[in-house]
Chain A
Amino acid sequence: MELLIGGLAIGAVYALLAIGIVLVFRATGVVNFAQGEVMMVAAYAYVLAAARTGSAVLQMAAAVGTGIAAALLCYAVAHLLLPRASRLAQVIGTIGVLILLQAGARFLFTDDPVPADPWLFGDENLLVGGATVAVNSLLILGITVLATAALVWWQNATVYGRAVRAVAEDPWRAALSGIHVSSTLATSWAVGGALAGIAGLLVSPVTGVYPTMGDSVIFPAFISAVLGGFSSIEGALVGGLLLGLIQTYAVVLFGGSFKEAVMFGVLLAVLLWRPTGLFAARGARQV
């Protein structure tokens, strides 16, 4: 039970990042390599906010706001600075942002991990069915599912969400129907940044906050997105949770040194047998 919840909680963090990556990729065709750094910056913002204020709302606002700001920086580089560049150049642009954010964090805060307190509940445990479960893990899981549900609702039910989807499908025709394309694209990046911000807030008490924390989550986040077919939000959520479970049980079975190898195996297996993701839906994008 502890393993199950723990694995799902790790997976939820991967899922939050993966959803942001998928949102941006679907809308713009750019794979954001700086998504892990967006999370890292938000985690620092949370730690700084937690040191100054006890208000959970303000702490959350600091993390999410910083995540959005960092994601908009990526947007600015990929679309405003490199408007007519090739996709490859835009992706390398996000790698440039990655270097800058990492170097900035290293300069301001040094390489030493900063410990963080769990948001909202502190280090409490709960007895569920005879097993002790960290409240923080349940919190991560709950918030992730809620955020994804809200996002799916927003995409399907509101005008703004539908505009985002329309632009993703065909920017030219979306523009013809009166949608402001560039601000809609920025919205996609910003929503991805907000999710990365939540991920930073939730993961910092588990791992501590350090400049290269993005490096260790970006690859699992990519795999989660691949598991979900790189085009669907629900797919990325399920993919992330699944990967979290696989990783946790792999560590238990084979030991920690094979964690990455198992993940890589999962990636190759999916790429070979189900390139459209595990849950290929109708109209899945040809990859």
Chain B
Amino acid sequence: MRTIPSRHPVAAAVAAGLVLVALASFVPPYRLFIVGQLSVVVMVTVGLAVLMGGAGLLSLASAAFMAVGGYGAIMLMIQWSLPWFVAVPVVVAAGAVLGGLLGFVTLRLSGFYLAIATLGFLQVLLALLKHGGQLTGGGYGLVAPLLATPGLPDVPAEWLSLLTLFCAVLTVAAAVTVTRSRIGRAWIAIRDNEAAARMQGIDVRRMKVLAFAFTSGLTSLAGALHAFLLNGTNPSTYTMNLSIFHITLVVVGGMSGSIFGAVAAPLVLFFLPEMFTALGEWRDFFYGAILLLTLVLMPSGLSSLLRYLPGQGAART
């Protein structure tokens, strides 16, 4: 197994993030917005890949936790006038706790109850957001307040994209670290054979709840940044189709918990349709077909490409 090329993974991740941000700051502003958007999608996909690939749990709630992050952050800023850098950690923690609770309730049962419960969670949340009146802005959603930072001049909009990119890098680093840790190995053991994992002394339920909390926290973070990037939230953004889109990305990246695949899939699927500009009406078809084709032809997704890289003889499965 490859080790992280530094004894200080945090320092290495921060350094890598800063380098990427420095590179990205040369991107023209209108493209930078796309960089920010892609970073959000990468964060969600990485989180979901940990849950689906690493722990073998299917969740349809990624859109719901993006809504928790987006609505939560903006509501905290409006209602309690918290600054954004306090609101974001609060909603990340809230998302993690909420996800853990949802997992705790459903994981006593077999896997698909979780999928059903997550679908329900999404629908309840959407209904409440649409009927939340002033608090949630009803069918129109909320407009994000200005992201003022005390002691600093107002940040230009481009900085938000760079911040998102930086968070995405940290997310990837965190996911890599966790999946290679004791916890990540426990998840893989549970995915491959739950009974055997239990015999090894792994607390299966605790690990599954942990996986769900981890993913939900990351998704909430992505949701908060997404809402800032778009200057607000709209309930029609967070539909089941968004969740299905995220699942498609994870499948294309590879359902083996590969972080590489989870980063590569959004990039590939973003640039592929650019090549077929005539796609137009057929875009949904395109994603459905890609999903099925990947399942049939390339079950381990883009992550199987890693095998062809030098120095990756013992690719992670």
A-side residues, CB < 8 A to B, are 31, 33, 77, 81-82, 85, 87-89, 91-93, 95-100, 102-104, 106-107, 215, 218-219, 222-223, 226, 256-261, 263-264, 267-268, 271-272, 275, 287
- Complex CA–CA separation, A31 to B124 (angstroms): 21
Within 8 Å by CB of B296, from A82, A268, A272, lies A82
B145 at the binding interface (Cβ < 8 Å):
no
B287 interface contact, C-beta 8 A: yes
Known: A95-B291, A267-B117. 9 other contacts (CB 8 A): A95-B244, A96-B288, A102-B284, A257-B130, A260-B120, A261-B127, A261-B128, A268-B105, A271-B113
In the complex, the answer to whether A88 meets B52 with C-beta atoms within 8 Å is: yes
Residue of B nearest to A101 (CB): B288
Q: Is the CB of A271 within 8 A of B128?
A: no
Q: How far is the CA of A31 from the CA of B115 in the complex (A)?
A: 10
Instruction: Please report which residues of chain B, range 103-149, place their CB below 8 angstroms from some CB of chain A when the two chains form the complex.
Output: 105-106, 108-113, 115-117, 119-121, 123-124, 126-128, 130-131
Docked complex Cα distance between A271 and B251 (Å): 29
Is the beta-carbon distance between A257 and B128 smaller than 8 angstroms?
yes
* Closest CB in chain B relative to A31 CB, distance in Å: 5
Main secondary structure of the interface of B (DSSP, over half): helix
Instruction: Choose among A82, A104, A257, A267 the residue with the greatest number of B CB atoms under 10 Å from its CB.
Output: A267
Given A263-B120, A275-B109, verify A81-B127 contact (CB < 8 Å): no
CB-nearest residue of chain A relative to B52? Answer: A88
Please determine whether A264 and B285 come into contact, CB atoms closer than 8 angstroms. Answer: no
B230 contacts the other chain (CB 8 A): no
B287 / chain A contacts, CB cutoff of 8 Å: 99
Are B110 and A287 in contact (CB-based, < 8 A)? Answer: yes
Highest count of chain B CB atoms <10 Å: which of A100, A218, A259: A100
Please give the distance in Å from B107's CB to the nearest CB on chain A.
10
Contact yes or no, B121 A264, CB < 8 A: yes
- Using A89-B255, A92-B247, A103-B284 as known contacts, say yes or no to A82 and B295 having CB atoms under 8 A apart: yes
Let me know if B123 and A264 touch, CB within 8 A: yes
Chain A residues closer than 8 Å to B255, beta-carbon distance: 88-89
- With A257-B127, A264-B121 in contact, is A91–B115 under 8 Å at CB? yes
**29 residue pairs A–B, Cβ–Cβ below 8 Å:** A33-B115, A77-B292, A81-B296, A88-B52, A88-B111, A88-B255, A89-B295, A89-B299, A91-B58, A92-B58, A92-B247, A92-B291, A96-B291, A99-B244, A102-B284, A104-B285, A106-B284, A222-B120, A257-B128, A258-B127, A259-B127, A260-B120, A260-B123, A260-B127, A261-B127, A263-B124, A268-B105, A271-B108, A271-B113
Q: B299 to A85, Cβ gap below 8 A?
A: yes
The 8 closest A-B CB pairs, nearest first, are: A257-B131, A103-B284, A99-B288, A260-B127, A100-B288, A96-B292, A96-B291, A264-B124
Q: How far is the CA of A89 from the CA of B296 in the complex (A)?
A: 9
Would you call B268 an interface residue if the criterion is a C-beta within 8 Å of the partner chain's C-beta atoms?
no
B281 at the interface (CB under 8 A from A): yes
Q: Are A88 and B106 in contact (CB under 8 A)?
A: no
Contact check, B288 vs A91: say whether CB atoms are below 8 A apart: no
Decide yes or no whether B282 CB sits under 8 A from chain A: yes
A253 CB to nearest B CB, Å: 15
- Place the interface of chain B in its size category: 35 or more
Min CB distance B70 to A, Å, is 19
Residue of A nearest to B285 (CB): A103
| A102 neighbours in B (Cβ, 8 Å) | 284
How far in angstroms is the closest Cβ of chain A from B187? Answer: 14
Cα-based distance from A263 to B127 in the complex (angstroms): 12
Q: Roughly how many angstroms separate A256 CA and B127 CA in the complex, as a whole number?
A: 9
Identify A271's interface contact among B117, B123, B295, CB under 8 A: B117
Q: How far is the CB of B156 from chain A (nearest CB, A)?
A: 38
Contact A85 B112 (CB under 8 A): no
Distance of A82 Cα from B126 Cα, bound (Å) = 33
Say yes or no: is B257 at the interface (Cβ < 8 Å to chain A): no
Q: Which residues of B contact A257 (CB under 8 A)?
A: 127-128, 130-131
Q: Check B289 for interface membership: any CB of A closer than 8 A.
A: yes
In the complex, the answer to whether A219 meets B288 with C-beta atoms within 8 Å is no
**How far is it, in angstroms, between the C-alpha of A88 and the C-alpha of B54 when the chains are bound?**
13
For A91, give its contact among B112, B121, B292 (CB under 8 Å).
B112
Tell me the minimal C-beta distance from B142 to chain A in angstroms.
Answer: 17
Is B116's CB under 8 angstroms from A99's CB? Answer: no
Say yes or no: is B35 at the interface (Cβ < 8 Å to chain A): no
Contacts of A89 in B (CB 8 A): 255, 295, 299
Q: Is the Cβ of B284 less than 8 Å from the Cβ of A219?
A: no
B240 an interface residue at 8 Å Cβ cutoff? yes
- A219 lies within 8 A of B244 (CB): no
- Set of chain B residues within 8 Å of A82, measured between Cβ atoms: 295-296
When distances are taken between beta carbons in the complex, the residues of chain A under 8 Å from B285 are 99-100, 103-104, 107
A215 contacts B128, C-beta separation under 8 Å: no
Closest CB of chain B to A80's CB: distance in Å? 10
Contacts of A267 on B, CB cut-off 8 Å?
116-117, 120
The answer to whether A218 and B291 have CB atoms under 8 Å apart is no
Asked whether, in the complex, the Cβ of B292 is within 8 Å of the Cβ of A272, the reply is: no
Q: Which residues of A contact B296 (CB under 8 A)?
A: 81-82
A219 to B291, CA, bound (A): 22
Known contacts A103-B284, A271-B106: A222-B127 contact under CB 8 Å: no
B112 touches A31 (CB 8 A): yes
